[in-house]
Structure 1
């Protein structure tokens, strides 16, 4: 989805075009667009328009929902782009804006999960410190910090995304038009490190420590409070859904870097895996609101109160 394609003419990967185009990613794109927008708008309404103020966890989850809403709002543009065999039918300004917004949303998405997992970890493992630090003002400040860094992270897309006409295929591509192959590699490596390796290490550390603490409490007969346990279960479920849906997309980006550096040769299987991993990534934007309803008892109660209100 990043549109990072080298103009050096080296090792171009085959694309799925015409009658061979995968039906699943295109269909999944339209389905994820409609259902994702409806589901995430509903969740935001419950969190933001409810008369009761949000807890710290709900602040993180509402911001997470905002990033997913932005992602699925940009998805129809790329679904049409993919359906038209990578012929961008919109303006260059829209090419820059859509890609920048989606890049920022992907960055913020994982770091709101990092904040939520850190809050859950501190609440269970260091409860005294949590009472001092876990305040709505601090949570909102952390969210503002993440949004600001996401905007900075997406800044290259505002500058370098361009419409490039290919006379051989008679197609206009929306690409991140960097000047050399090294710049493409550095861009993808930066995304892999900051969007994948660093946050996933933090998330896995928190998840392991949370699980160990809960297991230790059960062995000692010190069961956590029911509300605390429900919140922890919801956070762990959202983290697991993220890892399942987003890890394949980052693995395919890593494979792309290996292909750029000629360590790995291109194969149509890699293209198919990339198409499917993108579909799986956007499916998480639909899955999370469903998890809130199924697992989040507090969210269900908040929804009932919202409708009564």
Structure 2
């Protein structure tokens, strides 16, 4: 315990601390000044100097160890400012042992904590604040993104070409699948920007608007894929469970309106991210969608929890229920007829691929993002934040795998797409 703590226990120091917060001291404040629980009057200042600081300065500069309480600010400055400079020179020239330096540092920390406890306000010392600096990501992340970009470009271009030019008559299921193709196509122009960003050590060179546009498109693709996969699961269950019944989900006009409504919801949902998440300069480098950005951290924390609950867990739960009911119906289905065997096989494949997309592509991103936002908001361990940072950016790689797995859904859930894809593949082999 430092000497200042012992001095603070002295009756004069307790009186000085009382003078700082007493109604009498507040009444002596200058009229018109802001009200503050810590009002420093001349009498209180002189009392504190007599208790805490002047004995050491007086000992070093050979001056009186106390001032009269009636001393004014001008007398205080005229008498003790030269003394402080002289004592500083004496302390600088004198030899100080490491033990004395450590005791002095402990004394200053103890006095700072006592003042903080008396005033009720947190300390603003920069020594207590730690900054967690961004790290350079592994080079494997941009490499994997580049490979997935090529695969996504080829597969989705082929799917879009088949839907647009080869399938003449569309049914209700093809409408939902085509919207899923549009979601994957929307992501293709953004991936090269992400590869460049990660390759340059998380340095964004494309301006603030493109950063906001990238965030908006990533959000639209992510939750658009989740929504349309959920709608496909509902449609598949109703198509199998109520095969001979005319339901609303079999009408193309209804599914077109439903798809337009989903696009509208995605635009409204992505606008807060577009306006809130912008570029930031950290350590001289421009960041875009970095886990180290502190702007609007509280807003993003609550909105991220909202997105996880409403836009991921709820659709995922609906998909699980639909596929569980579908699986129960399939297990009771007879396999004697060819049509029954085909429907059973296609449905089982659709269930497996859809659940794999949810678990592999969507779960890691939402878990790592939620943990990262909480760790950043509550200023937890820097080591934990850096580990979450790598997991967060790696989860975007898994999210892009979604673009490569979605064509399997088109193949398993639509016979027309399967036939058109097989014909196109045979033509390609013939020309080769």
TM-score normalised per structure 2: 0.61
The count of aligned residue pairs is: 294
> Can you list the C-alpha shifts for 1:195-237, whole angstroms capped at 9, x where unaligned?
3111111111111111111112249x79963554354244313
Over 3 Å counting, the alpha-carbon distance change for 1:12 and 1:27 in structure 2 is farther
Structure 1 residues 196 and 304, CA gap change in structure 2 (3 angstroms): same
Deviates more, 1:155-164 or 1:37-46: 155-164
Deviation at 1:241, TM superposition (A): 2.7
Structure whose CA Rg is larger: 2
- Structure 2 distance, partners of 1:116, 1:294, is 12
Q: Do the aligned partners of 1:33 and 1:75 also contact (CA within 8 Å) in 2? A: yes
Distance 2:231 2:413 in 1: 20
TM-aligned CA distance change 1:257 to 1:96, over 3 Å: closer
Equivalent residue for 1:278, pick from 396, 400, 422 = 396
Q: 1:196 aligns with which of 312, 320, 325?
A: 312
Does the aligned pair in 2 maintain the 1:163–1:174 contact within 8 Å?
A: yes
Matched, 1:109 2:109: no
Change (3 A) 1:279 1:51: closer
2:347 corresponds to: 232
The gaps in structure 1 that reach 5 residues or longer are 1-8
Q: After TM superposition, list the pairs within 5 Å mapping 1:115-126 onto structure 2.
A: 115-126=231-242
Question: Is 285-294 or 96-105 further displaced after alignment?
Answer: 285-294
Maintained 8 Å contact 1:16/1:22:
no
CA contact (8 A) 2:279 2:288 kept: yes
TM-score of the pair, normalised by structure 1: 0.83
Aligned to 1:3: none
Deviations along 1:140-182, one digit per CA (max 9) or x if unpaired, are 211111111111111113322323223xx21112249885432
CA RMSD for the aligned pairs? 3.0
Greater RCO (CA < 8 Å, at least 6 residues apart): 1
Contact 1:33–1:73 at 8 Å: present in 2 too? Answer: no
Is contact 1:192–1:253 with CA below 8 Å preserved after alignment? Answer: no
Query: Out of 415, 419, 427, which is 1:301 matched to?
Result: 419
Report if aligned partners of 1:30, 1:79 keep a CA contact under 8 Å in 2.
Answer: yes
Alignment of 1:170 with 2:288, yes or no, is: no
Pairwise CA distance, 1:120: 0.8
Deviation at 1:291, TM superposition (A): 5.8
Partner of 2:256: 140
Looking at structure 1, the residues matched to 410 and 365 of structure 2 have their Cα atoms a distance apart, in angstroms, of 24
Q: Secondary structure of 1:89's partner?
A: coil
Q: Does the Cα contact within 8 Å between 1:252 and 1:274 map onto a contact in 2? A: yes
| Residue matched to 2:75 | none
The 1:149–1:253 alpha-carbon spacing in structure 2 relative to 1, beyond 3 Å, is same
Change (3 A) 1:14 1:271: farther
- 1:34 equivalent to 2:166? Answer no
CA deviation after TM superposition for structure 1 residue 57, in Å: 1.9
* Structure 2: gaps spanning 5 or more residues: 1-127, 428-432
Change (3 A) 1:181 1:157: closer
Using the TM superposition, give the Cα deviation of residue 119 of structure 1 relative to its aligned residue in structure 2, in angstroms.
0.4
What is the Cα deviation at residue 30 of structure 1? 0.9
How big is the shift at 1:111?
Answer: 0.4
Q: Any idea what SS the aligned residue of 2:189 has?
A: helix
